[in-house]
């Protein structure tokens, strides 16, 4: 396995958006995020908005965890034909949702409703009363769960929100788990089997404690983590020859989800080790070969992109206030 040191972390999740003037305030107001970096690429006609609950300016955005990267293609805000693929339609399914955990789920959701936030699933809907799904301005699903830390009956604070996880659907969990644990060095936090609905959830991420015991994490501890990756496996897809696979969010004209991102101190070394040890791994972009230098994109077994960046990336680029 490649050398994984303590600098490795799941840095960000990238989502394409239609209008930053709508999306940025949405995550600021409703989930306590702060715009910590905005980088414009006028020659490529897009801008990146880096948002994080941790607003500490002494740490570069690329050295943080729990960053939400909103990618705006210039002009989309006034283009009536521009559509986002949320990943949850009847076709082009793949990406599922991002998730925030909060102190008091029921009260938090009531506050969101009072502010006009739309819901795909309210706490009271269906059999699962411990989750809800809000909708962001682009139609992405935003799961809400409860971590219960410092919970006060009848109250909830935006400041309690934690950017907990990102979910994608996978065809073959064995292949996916091998990739994320052996190539990227993730730990398996927990597995949740839903026999009635015939699907299994796998939760992964970085934990640099040598004594950490995998696949033993309880809900409370996991709900307080930041930047977890959730893999959803619908039973039978791995052996279904007619199953065409999931949409990775980046192909065709109907895009949405972009990628998750791993940051570390020495991505050059990491990428070289991956190439040497796992020659069959597919690369969307090899290290330092793009117009943004010192980055790479690896493809997982389902074709989802994982960006690899240095913790110092774009450190000197000015942080612009959003318009």
* Residues tagged active-site: 307
Residue 77 assigned as binding residue: no
Place of tokens 């073959």: 172
Nearest to 283 by CA among 267, 271, 265: 271
E strand or H helix at 31: helix 20-31
Percent helix, percent strand, percent coil in the chain, to nearest 5: 20, 35, 50
Place of tokens 């006028």: 42
Residue 183: DSSP 8-state: I
Residue 303 buriedness (CB in 10 A; 0-12 / 13-18 / 19+):
middle
Query: Which tokens hold the place of 63?
Result: 């050295």
Distance CA 234, CA 171 (A): 8
Residue 208 assigned as binding residue: no
Residue 29 assigned as binding residue: no
Annotated binding site for Zn(2+): 230, 259, 307
């Amino acid at each position: 396995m490649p050398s994984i040191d303590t600098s490795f972390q799941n840095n960000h999740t990238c989502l394409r958006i239609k209008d930053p003037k709508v999306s940025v305030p949405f995550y600021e107001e409703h989930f306590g995020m702060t715009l910590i970096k905005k980088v414009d690429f006028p020659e490529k006609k897009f801008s990146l908005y880096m948002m994080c609950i941790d607003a500490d300016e002494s740490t570069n955005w690329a050295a943080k965890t729990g960053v939400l990267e909103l990618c705006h293609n210039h002009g989309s805000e006034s283009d009536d034909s521009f559509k986002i693929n949320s990943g949850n339609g009847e076709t082009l399914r793949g990406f599922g949702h991002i998730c925030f955990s909060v102190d008091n789920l029921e009260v938090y959701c009531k506050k969101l409703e009072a502010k006009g936030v739309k819901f795909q699933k309210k706490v009271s809907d269906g059999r699962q009363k411990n989750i809800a799904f809000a909708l962001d301005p682009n139609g992405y699903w935003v799961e809400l769960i409860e971590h219960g830390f410092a919970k006060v009956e009848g109250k909830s604070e935006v400041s309690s929100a934690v950017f907990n996880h990102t979910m994608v659907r996978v065809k073959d969990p064995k292949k996916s788990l091998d990739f994320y644990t052996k190539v990227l060095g993730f730990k398996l936090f927990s597995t949740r089997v839903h026999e009635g609905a015939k699907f299994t959830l796998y939760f992964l991420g970085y934990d640099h404690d040598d004594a950490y015991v995998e696949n033993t994490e309880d809900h409370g501890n996991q709900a307080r983590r930041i930047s977890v990756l959730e893999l959803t496996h619908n039973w039978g897809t791995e052996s279904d020859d007619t199953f065409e696979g999931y949409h990775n969010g980046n192909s065709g004209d109907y895009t949405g989800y972009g990628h998750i991102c791993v940051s570390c101190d020495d991505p050059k070394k990491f990428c070289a080790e991956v190439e040497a040890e796992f020659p069959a791994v597919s690369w969307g972009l090899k290290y330092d070969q793009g117009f943004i230098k010192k980055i790479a994109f690896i493809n997982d077994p389902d074709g989802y992109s994982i960006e690899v960046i240095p913790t110092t990336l774009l450190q000197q680029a000015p942080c612009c206030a959003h318009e």
